[in-house]
Amino acid sequence: MSAERIYRLLLRVYPPAFRAAYEREMVLVFRDQCRDGDVRTLGFWVRVFWDIVRSAPALRAETTRTVEVIMKLAAILTVLLGALGILGAMNEWGAASQHAGAYLLAIVLGVAASLLLVGAGVAILRQKNQAARLAVALSLVCFVAARLLFPWMSIFLQLIGFVVPVGLLIALYWPRKSSRLGAA
């Protein structure tokens, strides 16, 4: 694959409108850099990557609505906390072998609720808000049921189980403005 083709692939991280306006000029500058430098060296590609890493996120943020950025961050955090919730519930699973069936059922419900949080985060990232709302609501129901079955759930699981879903439900139902950043 030629250096220019690799560079064109890297340019895909920029917003489409920006690429439409500036891709041709950026490729021309890249050709000049290729002619002046050695594209086979690591230093050349480090400079190219560094330029893209510095500029693309800022341009993406400018073209994305503020609420969308917040929701994407919330979705990523939800996926991570959901995964941590699964790990926390699996950690408690070891202690479940010494207790009654209600404790085991509470842990199964905790794992299911955490899986639903992961699904909600993925749905938010895919901009499927209705599916995200349903997954978050079901997650909250599972955590409440788990808490009622076994009241000695860890603080960490309780925070993930109650605070994250309630916060997400508020965010998913919050009214949104359609204005973009930078627009007057």
Looking at the fold, whether 57 and 85 belong to one and the same domain comes out as: no
Based on the fold, state whether residues 128 and 165 are members of the same structural domain: yes
- Give the residues of the chain that fall short of pLDDT 70: 1, 63-67, 69, 88-102, 151-154, 157, 175-184
Q: Cα(88)–Cα(111) distance, rounded to whole angstroms? A: 9
Say yes or no: 49 and 110 in one domain: no
Q: What span, in angstroms and rounded, lies between the C-alpha atoms of 55 and 49?
A: 10
Q: How is residue 160 written in tokens? A: 């993930």
Residue 79's pLDDT is: 75
Long-range contacts of 61-69 (CB under 8 A, 24+ apart): 61/181, 62/15, 62/181, 62/182, 63/15, 63/17, 63/18, 63/180, 63/181, 64/180, 64/181, 65/176, 65/178, 65/179, 65/180, 65/181, 66/181, 67/174, 67/176, 67/177
Residues 122, 126, 131, 132: is their CA dihedral positive or negative? Answer: positive
**Nearest to 4, CA basis, from 28, 38, 21, 36:** 28
Q: Do 161 and 96 belong together in one domain?
A: yes
Number of domains forming the structure of the chain: 2
State residue 44's pLDDT score. Answer: 86
pLDDT at 178: 46
Q: Containing domain of residue 53, as a range?
A: 3-63
pTM of the model: 0.48
